[in-house]
Amino acid sequence: MNIITYVKQVGFAYIIAFIFYLIDPYSKGYLFGYILILALILNGKRLIRYLDRDFVFISFFSVSYALFYAFYLESGVQFIFIYALFPSFFYLLGKKLILPNMKSNQLVLIFFTIGFLFSFSALTSILMNLMEGGFAQLSRDIPLFWNGEEKKATLMAAYLTFNMCIPIIFLVKQKGVHLFLKLLAGIIFIASLLSVFRLGSRTLLLICIFAIILSLIYIVPKQNIKENTRLIFFLGLFIILIPQFIPLNLNADYLSVLGSRLQESNNTSSAGGRTTLWLQSLENLFKYPFGWQGEGVRYSHNLWLDVARYAGLIPFSLLLIFTIRSLRNTYKAARKNRSSLLLNTTMVIFSLSSILIFFVEPIMEGLFFLFTIFCIFQGMINAYLKQSKIEK
């Protein structure tokens, strides 16, 4: 199946609107989200076959959260509709993106293409900032290349999440992956890694290391001795050569921001002080079952606990159920066709990387669009689960 055939079968209007939603030009990507939802509703008869229990849980969660938000309206009236509709309908969109008889390599390409397009505006803005001022800059905030609006480093870093999973393409042996695509993936990863250094993002660096280690743990038992010997040889060669060309020194220019954060931070063991906030939120969860708001109340820096803080136990419980079901579905999908190592690894790493970000940031009030991408991936994974065995 070539790209033109795929676009025709999914729908040209869906693909174009989805691309603009991911790129988010001038921070107006949500408008294309409305277009996607309207298109799905107008195609209601075909939409019915995508409905399942996960859709029910994510729908109840998003609507209940939106109802609580309606009492505060911190970000404007339109977010009532965004919170209520985007998670569930983007879950359905994810299902629509998976067509019958797709090969596993094609599915992997869709996952990474979505990840790259989602990062495009942030990555371009950071690289332009690097070209202008280099690594040693006082501020970690980055102006968007669209309109010059400055965005915090944490927000910009979140958009690069899935680019930090790219090393799995080179670690997992998979036939049929074109050399040009590997070269392009390598360039995107290097650009993203430089951006991580500029932002000083410890979380993204951790995700990259996590993706590499988990990939090795996952694939080594499934490969023969010859394949593992080759893998160890190239990893060893890479580890030996890198220090010869790149200075691994925290005082190096390219590590100006990240190095200072790693050296000066005295709360790394507590996740930047987040563990204290998590414990406080867990206590409040039972003291204030309908949420706790007010002057001086801080973010919990955790998706589920921030939902509880804002909207109480009911949305918290529904989101927790959806999360557990998502992890279960990802596990089942990874076991469906054990010979498709790259696809299985991609689904697992993308899901767990999202969860890792969810654990340390206030997603609904700061990185909501990342949550919608997670919903899309879960829709794709569930659609894959319901298909017959997919070719390698």
Give residue 390's Cα distance to chain centre: 24
pLDDT of residue 49: 84
Q: pLDDT confidence of 297, banded at 50, 70, 90?
A: confident
Q: Which residues contact 95 (CB under 8 A, 6 or more apart)?
A: 50, 379, 380, 382, 383
Q: pLDDT confidence of 346, banded at 50, 70, 90?
A: very high
Separation between Cα atoms, residue 369 and residue 179, nearest integer Å: 32
266 versus 305: the higher-pLDDT residue is 305
Could you tell me if 24 and 121 are in contact, meaning their C-beta atoms sit under 8 angstroms apart? yes
Average pLDDT over residues 33-54: 89
pLDDT of residue 270: 52
Residue 244 is encoded by which pair of tokens? 């010869």
Q: Give 8-65 as a DSSP string.
A: HHH-HHHHHHHHHHHH-GGG-HHHHHHHHHHHHHHTHHHHGGG--HHHHHHHHHHHHH
Amino acid at position 318, single letter: L
pLDDT of residue 374: 97
Separation between Cα atoms, residue 20 and residue 30, nearest integer Å: 9
pTM: 0.90
Separation between Cα atoms, residue 96 and residue 329, nearest integer Å: 17
pLDDT of residue 137: 73
pLDDT of residue 202: 82
Output the average pLDDT for the chain: 86
Could you tell me if 344 and 328 are in contact, meaning their C-beta atoms sit under 8 angstroms apart? no
Q: Which residues contact 87 (CB under 8 A, 6 or more apart)?
A: 58, 59, 61, 62, 371, 372, 375
Tell me: the pLDDT tens digits for 124-159? 999 999 888 877 777 788 999 998 888 888 889 999
Could you tell me if 354 and 377 are in contact, meaning their C-beta atoms sit under 8 angstroms apart? yes
pLDDT of residue 261: 57
pLDDT of residue 181: 86
The answer on pLDDT for 17 being more than 70 is: yes
Average pLDDT over residues 70-90: 88
pLDDT of residue 3: 84
Separation between Cα atoms, residue 350 and residue 215, nearest integer Å: 11
Q: Which of 101-115, 199-213, 266-280 has the lowest mean pLDDT?
A: 266-280
Q: pLDDT confidence of 265, banded at 50, 70, 90?
A: low
pLDDT of residue 259: 55
The answer on pLDDT for 267 being more than 90 is: no
Report, in angstroms and rounded to the nearest whole number, the Rg of the chain calculated over CA atoms. Answer: 21
pLDDT of residue 78: 86
pLDDT of residue 187: 94
pLDDT of residue 140: 80
Q: Where do the H-state alpha helices sit in 220-255?
A: 225-245
Separation between Cα atoms, residue 92 and residue 42, nearest integer Å: 13
Q: pLDDT confidence of 53, banded at 50, 70, 90?
A: very high
Separation between Cα atoms, residue 259 and residue 252, nearest integer Å: 8
Residue 68 is encoded by which pair of tokens? 């609580």
Could you tell me if 380 and 98 are in contact, meaning their C-beta atoms sit under 8 angstroms apart? yes
Q: Give 200-229 as a DSSP string.
A: T-HHHHHHHHHHHHHHHHHHGGGS-HHHHH
**Residue whose token pair is 């080759």:** 230
pLDDT of residue 222: 78
Closest by alpha carbon to 383, among 2, 32, 102? 102
Separation between Cα atoms, residue 232 and residue 253, nearest integer Å: 31
151: three-class secondary structure by DSSP: strand
Average pLDDT over residues 71-87: 87
Average pLDDT over residues 320-333: 95
pLDDT of residue 92: 95
Give residue 213's Cα distance to chain centre: 18
Average pLDDT over residues 257-283: 67
The answer on pLDDT for 111 being more than 60 is: yes
Q: pLDDT confidence of 47, banded at 50, 70, 90?
A: confident
pLDDT of residue 88: 95
Using a pLDDT cut of 90, give the percent of the chain over it. Answer: 44
Terminus-to-terminus CA distance in the chain, angstroms?
A: 13
pLDDT of residue 333: 93
Tell me: the pLDDT tens digits for 165-194? 999 888 887 776 778 888 999 999 999 998
Separation between Cα atoms, residue 347 and residue 280, nearest integer Å: 33
Tell me: the pLDDT tens digits for 206-254? 888 888 888 888 888 877 888 888 888 888 877 776 665 555 555 555 5
pLDDT of residue 66: 94
